[in-house]
């Protein structure tokens, strides 16, 4: 019923609901749950006009979900493509869904570089998420060298084509454009560059998923902060943010959320 109302709202307004997503990476002890608790409390002060998500280390998914309430979504940072089996140390999408995760980040550049996860594997992870009823957040981005060679658009399209699921309901898929050189560096592309790349991603999504491609959320990620969030979120085809460092403190994270619902 709620889903039908949301769809009707989108059809009438053409709006895509903004997603403000925090990626805690390998940061977070039990004591960090205080920040998530503060986030849930602060969320109550804002209109419910954008989705809010934290992807903590997997050990915190269960306790965070238990205290998250209905405004804070909880996600994970990677998953194994198989549902279960002899894969020591890995977590399947089914296990993460069972723990309370409703989103999983796949293809983050740190997974691609540190763990050799290539696009074909990322696509398998995305399929696993959909199988488990989880929304994959598929990350793509160019290196600094590729940018310098003028290969940004081609790189993003090539990687994304290979990483997205072959079949997807638009509401169960999110793409994050994260220039590798902008992650954790304080550097950010110009608004024009972001608009160009997000426009290219939108075109590809429409080519792949027809009209449903218009509703797939495209997040920007890379040194998003309270000070630059408003102007980035105002760019066409930017439907939210994937935020690393600035998501660790509730005050910073909520200052970004505030710009999304202003
Ligand atoms: C990220 O790692 O996804 C990210 C965007 O990090 P930061 O915001 O710290 O640049």
Q: How confident is the model at residue 14 (pLDDT cuts 50, 70, 90)?
A: low
The structure tokens 């169960």 sit at: 172
User: What is the CA(226)–ligand 1 centre distance, in A?
Assistant: 13
Prediction pTM value? 0.94
CA angle 220, 222, 223 (to 5 degrees): 120
The structure tokens 């903590």 sit at: 56
Whether 36 shows a pLDDT value over 60: the answer reads yes
Q: Please compute, for residue 229, the number of CA atoms within 13 A of its CA located in the half-sphere on the CB side.
A: 27
Q: Please compute, for residue 198, the number of CA atoms within 13 A of its CA located in the half-sphere on the CB side.
A: 27
Tell me the pLDDT tens digit for each residue of 67-117.
999 999 999 999 999 999 999 999 999 999 999 999 999 999 999 999 999
Q: Whose CA is nearest to atom 1 of ligand 1?
A: 244
Q: Please compute, for residue 76, the number of CA atoms within 13 A of its CA located in the half-sphere on the CB side.
A: 27
- Tell me how crowded residue 47 is: count the other CB atoms within 10 A of its CB: 7
- Would you say 174 and 129 are in contact if contact means Cβ atoms under 8 Å apart? no
User: Is 4 among the residues known to form the active site?
Assistant: no
Which residue among 23, 181, 182 has the greatest number of ligand 1 atoms within 8 angstroms of its CB, and so is best to mutate? 23
CA pair distance 170, 126, nearest whole angstrom: 13
Tell me the pLDDT tens digit for each residue of 129-159.
999 999 999 999 999 999 999 999 999 999 9
Domains and CATH numbers, the chain: 17-250 (3.20.20.70)
In ligand 1, which atom is closest to the CA atom of 185? 10
Whether the CB of 139 sits within 6 Å of ligand 1? no
User: Is 80 among the residues known to form the active site?
Assistant: no
H/E stretch holding 6 reads helix 2-13
CA pair distance 244, 130, nearest whole angstrom: 24
Whether the CB of 125 sits within 6 Å of ligand 1? no
């Amino acid at each position: 019923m709620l889903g039908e109302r949301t769809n009707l709202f989108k059809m009438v307004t053409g709006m895509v609901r903004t997603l403000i997503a925090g990626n805690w990476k390998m940061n977070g002890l039990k004591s960090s749950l205080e920040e998530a608790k503060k986030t849930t409390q602060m969320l109550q002060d804002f209109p419910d006009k954008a989705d809010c998500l934290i992807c903590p280390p997997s050990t915190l998914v269960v306790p965070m979900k238990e205290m998250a309430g209905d405004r804070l979504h909880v996600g994970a940072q990677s998953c194994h493509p198989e549902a279960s089996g002899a894969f020591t140390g890995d977590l399947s999408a089914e296990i993460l869904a069972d723990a309370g995760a409703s989103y999983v980040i796949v293809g983050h550049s740190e997974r691609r570089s540190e763990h050799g996860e290539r696009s074909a594997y990322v696509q398998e992870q995305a399929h696993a998420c959909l199988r488990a009823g989880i929304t994959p957040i598929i990350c793509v981005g160019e290196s600094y060298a590729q940018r310098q060679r003028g290969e940004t658009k081609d790189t993003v399209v090539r990687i994304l084509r290979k990483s997205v699921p072959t079949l997807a309901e638009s509401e169960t898929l999110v793409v994050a454009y994260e220039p590798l050189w902008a992650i954790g560096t304080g550097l950010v592309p110009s608004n024009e560059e972001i608009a160009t790349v997000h426009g290219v991603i939108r075109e590809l999504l429409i080519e792949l998923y027809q009209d449903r491609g218009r509703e797939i959320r495209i997040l920007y990620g890379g040194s998003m902060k309270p000070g630059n969030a408003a102007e980035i979120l105002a760019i066409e085809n930017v439907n939210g943010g994937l935020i690393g460092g600035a998501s660790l403190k509730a005050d910073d994270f909520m200052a970004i959320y505030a710009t999304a619902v202003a």
